[in-house]
């Protein structure tokens, strides 16, 4: 494990539980840990809610026929705050020490000492793997349909990807698009019901076995070159905006020197325990087969309740893991 010095000029604050990440897993953990009367801090370097914050029509979360990601996350965030959890969105984490007693999370402003760390840092969206991506980023190429979709009222839009996130993005963008293309290099992996809704939309064209090979435009995106893999033909397609949904990478770089990672994810069982006592992994960062909102909430619940039991044990001189 690599040793890294801490800035001892910063104020040191003790918390019972520090949660890294404010997605569904992190906020659920905060809610449950707060209900245990533990002092809880949630640190989030990015958008509160993570990937799900941009979802517009969630239909598979129990208790809701349909709810937006923002509405759902806001409700859980309010619940966590009601039970005393504190959320800090603006204090960037610089380093962590997980194998020490207490554990240490150093941010740009403070040093937090804590009995338990719950890692729920989620994932990041993968960038379009073309050299022109940097040229057209935010000039036609986007990654957040909720944030930027309104810029393309009555425009021609392309969505790249084949999973549920891509199909959901395409469904959302139909409210703006004059014409929308869903482009994927193989077959769609999204839910059949969502795909069928998209196929029935009169302004949508789904292009499968199709690769995007190049981007063009003077100052901003104007067209893309696409390859039909079945026929081997290339053509230029006029589009004014393109939204990328081609997968995500676990947000675990911060922990690479502290934990063993498997393909970027943290090994932890259904009890969310890692190899380090007092350190839990919850949500998309945990190595597991199923990653859904409901499983993220379940991970957050499990991690928080077992964190409470662990803290009780160490307070009584027993730190079995």
Measured CA distances, 61 to 145, 159, 163 (Å): 21, 25, 18
Contact between 266 and 285 (Cβ < 8 Å): yes
Domain residue extents for the chain? 11-124+248-315, 127-244
Distance CA 55, CA 62 (A): 16
Q: Catalytic: which of 91, 148, 249, 257?
A: 148
Residue with tokens 């999370």: 105
* Distance (Å) of CA 46 to CA 15, 23, 43, 49: 22, 10, 9, 9
Contacts of 139 (CB under 8 A, 6+ apart): 217, 219, 220, 221
Instruction: Please identify which of the residues 7, 88, 115, 147 carries the catalytic annotation.
Output: 147
Which among 189, 318, 300, 198 is positioned nearest to 245, based on CA atoms? 189
Q: Measure the CA–CA gap between 47 and 263, rounded to whole angstroms.
A: 24
Tell me, rounded to whole angstroms, the distance of Cα 33 from its chain centroid: 21
Global pTM reads: 0.73
Architecture, CATH, for domain 11-124+248-315: 3-Layer(bba) Sandwich (3.50)
d(C-alpha 304, C-alpha 34), whole Å: 9
**147 belongs to the catalytic site:** yes
> The domain at 127-244 falls in which architecture?
3-Layer(bba) Sandwich (3.50)
Q: Walk across the sheet containing 233-238 and list its strands.
A: 210-216, 223-228, 233-238
Catalytic, 144? Answer: yes
CB–CB of 112/11 below 8 Å? no
Tens of pLDDT, residue by residue, the chain (321 residues): 444 556 668 999 999 999 999 999 999 999 999 999 999 999 998 788 876 776 666 778 899 998 888 899 999 999 999 999 999 998 899 999 999 999 999 999 999 999 999 999 998 888 999 999 999 998 999 988 877 888 999 999 999 999 998 999 999 999 999 999 999 999 999 989 989 999 999 999 999 999 999 999 999 999 999 999 999 999 999 999 999 999 878 999 999 999 999 989 999 999 999 999 999 999 999 999 888 899 999 999 999 999 999 999 999 887 677
Q: What is the pLDDT of residue 3?
A: 46
The b/e string for 55-80 (b: 16+ C-beta within 10 A; e otherwise) is bbebeebeeeeebbbbebbeebbebb
* pLDDT for position 319: 67
Q: Decide: residue 138, CB within 10 A, 0-12 exposed, 13-18 middle, 19+ buried.
A: exposed
Please give the pLDDT value at position 2. Answer: 43
The reported pLDDT for the residue numbered 281 is 98
Q: What is the Cα Rg of the chain in Å?
A: 22
Indicate if 154 belongs to the active site: no
The predicted structure's pLDDT at residue 146: 75
Catalytic residue chosen out of the listed positions 144, 191, 228, 249: 144
């Amino acid at each position: 494990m690599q040793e890294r010095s801490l800035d001892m000029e910063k104020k040191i604050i003790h918390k019972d539980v520090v949660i890294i990440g404010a997605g569904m897993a992190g906020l659920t953990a905060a809610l449950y840990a707060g209900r245990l009367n533990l002092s809880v801090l949630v640190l989030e370097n990015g958008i509160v809610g993570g990937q799900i914050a941009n979802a517009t029509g969630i239909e598979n979360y129990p208790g809701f026929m349909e709810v937006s990601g923002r509405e759902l996350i806001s409700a859980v965030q309010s619940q966590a705050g009601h039970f005393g959890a504190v959320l800090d969105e603006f204090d960037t984490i610089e380093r962590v020490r997980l194998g020490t007693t207490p554990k240490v999370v150093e941010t740009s402003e403070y040093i937090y000492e804590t009995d338990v760390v719950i890692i729920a840092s989620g994932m990041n969206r993968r960038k379009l793997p073309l050299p022109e991506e940097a040229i057209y980023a935010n000039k036609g190429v986007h990654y957040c349909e909720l944030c930027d979709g309104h810029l393309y009222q009555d425009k021609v839009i392309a969505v790249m990807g084949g999973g549920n996130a891509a199909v959901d993005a395409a469904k959302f963008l139909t409210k703006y698009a004059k014409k929308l293309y869903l482009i994927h290099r193989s077959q769609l992996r999204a839910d059949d019901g969502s795909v069928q809704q998209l196929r029935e939309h009169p302004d949508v064209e789904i292009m499968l076995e199709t690769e995007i090979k190049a981007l063009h435009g003077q100052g901003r995106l104007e067209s893309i070159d696409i390859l039909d893999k079945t026929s081997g033909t290339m053509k230029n397609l006029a589009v004014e905006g393109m939204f990328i949904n081609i997968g995500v990478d676990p947000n675990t770089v911060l922990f690479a020197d502290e934990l063993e990672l498997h393909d970027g994810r943290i090994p932890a069982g259904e009890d969310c325990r890692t190899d380090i006592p007092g350190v839990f992994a919850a949500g998309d960062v945990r190595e597991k087969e199923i990653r859904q909102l409901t499983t993220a909430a379940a991970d957050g619940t499990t991690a928080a309740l077992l964190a409470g039991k662990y803290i009780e044990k160490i307070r009584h001189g027993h730190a079995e893991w």
